[in-house]
Copies of this chain bind each other. A is one copy, B any other.
Amino acid sequence: MWKMSRQDILDLAVGAAILGAGGGGDPYIGMLMALQELDKGREIRVADPEEVPDDSFVVPVAGMGTPTVLIEKIPSGSELVYALKALEEYYNREADFLTPIEAGGINSTIPLVVAARRGLPVIDGDGMGRAFPELQMTTFHLYGIKATPMSMADEKGNRIVLDTIDNYWAEKIARVVTIKFGGTAWIAIYAMKGSDYKRAAVWRTMSLAIKIGRAIREAKERGKNPIDALTEASNGFLLFRGKIVDVKRFNVGGFARGEAVIDGMDSFSGSKMVIKFQNENLIALRDGEPVAMVPDIIVVVDQETARPITTERLRYGLRVAVIGIPCSEKWRTPEGLKVVGPKYFGYDYEYIPIEKLMGR
């Protein structure tokens, strides 16, 4: 068990945006809220998965909704605690540990706020090892954990508890409620025993995010190339360098979909990359051929600073590098690929691990 410092939170926000694969909302807002908690004298304690007793009660907490809306509706903090409270009341049991549902985006930092407010430790791990747009896209789901009973709360004080027949129904119902809430909901979901968490979670993704954020920061402080630091810390690949020449986007059923086109520069001159996204980046095609595919992580960063650029902030003219990072092995099974492989998202490609595509 260790306590998170201000610097840890700052580094985490950078690393989490990388692992967010361009989605999950900008971690900046959650970072500010987490820093504010430390300013108020509260603590954020982090537990290693090894420290979680089998019979403890673990509750993942998160925000849900369109990232674009999230930016305009900054939460006060109390609504997050309210969602957790609703689920605890339903179970008639208090949480022993919190954990993120995803390692990327705002949902990497949101649990820190709840943890600080409630004095509960947050576990260094999550249910995705990255960010994904739908509730059933978790390794928890893959390992048979039920998403429901789950709770939802909005900033007005509305609360809902869902108990659905499967995790796809949880997603369907929660999605329409989120839209009706005004675009954002706060949720407590996949409540489970410590033993289930340990076998189903992607371990130590919070410390991985901090490691990535720290590597980028230190490279800049030392005048080194932050892109190199990023690929090294994340065990990732440089997929492309270039200038964004087109971005198309459309908001469908609560999801932000679109694609970005990048003209190659430097060693990629004369090549073209197309990135397709739905909240997160899903497929990277170089001159028509896939070089990285979901569930592997594709992230667009500023070419000079390695600052990650979320899909909602992609725009014409940005000079970017595209990085690919291998996903958790948990996703690379036939069952995992059914839930989050290219075909689930409507792309007719057989998944090939990024290491293979890159010839490593």
Would you give the shortest CB distance from A94 to chain B, in whole angstroms?
A: 17
A160-171 vs B, Cβ < 8 Å mask (1 yes, 0 no): 111111000100
> What B residues does A86 contact at CB under 8 A?
163
> What B residues does A161 contact at CB under 8 A?
90, 160-161, 163
**Interchain CA distance A165-B181 in the complex, whole Å:** 12
Contact of A173 among B90, B165, B169, B180 (CB under 8 A): B180
**Interchain CA distance A177-B177 in the complex, whole Å:** 7
Would you give the shortest CB distance from A187 to chain B, in whole angstroms?
A: 13
**Interchain CA distance A157-B146 in the complex, whole Å:** 14
> What B residues does A343 contact at CB under 8 A?
none
Nearest first, the 6 closest Cβ-Cβ pairs linking A and B are A159-B163, A176-B176, A161-B161, A157-B165, A158-B164, A176-B180
Cβ-based interface call for A192 (8 A) = no
Contact of A163 among B158, B162, B176 (CB under 8 A): B158
> What B residues does A180 contact at CB under 8 A?
172-173, 176
Would you give the shortest CB distance from A97 to chain B, in whole angstroms?
A: 25
**Interchain CA distance A90-B157 in the complex, whole Å:** 18
> What B residues does A176 contact at CB under 8 A?
176-177, 179-180
- In the complex with contacts A177-B176, A180-B176, A169-B158 CB distance below 8 A: yes
Would you give the shortest CB distance from A88 to chain B, in whole angstroms?
A: 14
Would you give the shortest CB distance from A92 to chain B, in whole angstroms?
A: 9
> What B residues does A163 contact at CB under 8 A?
86, 158-161
Query: Chain B residue with minimal CB distance to A89?
Result: B90
> What B residues does A179 contact at CB under 8 A?
176
Cβ-based interface call for A356 (8 A) = no
13 contacts between A and B (CB under 8 A): A86-B163, A156-B165, A158-B162, A158-B163, A159-B162, A159-B164, A160-B160, A160-B162, A173-B177, A173-B180, A176-B176, A176-B179, A176-B180
> What B residues does A164 contact at CB under 8 A?
158-159
Residues of A127-165 contacting chain B, CB below 8 A: 156-165
> What B residues does A159 contact at CB under 8 A?
162-164
Contact of A158 among B156, B157, B173, B177 (CB under 8 A): B173
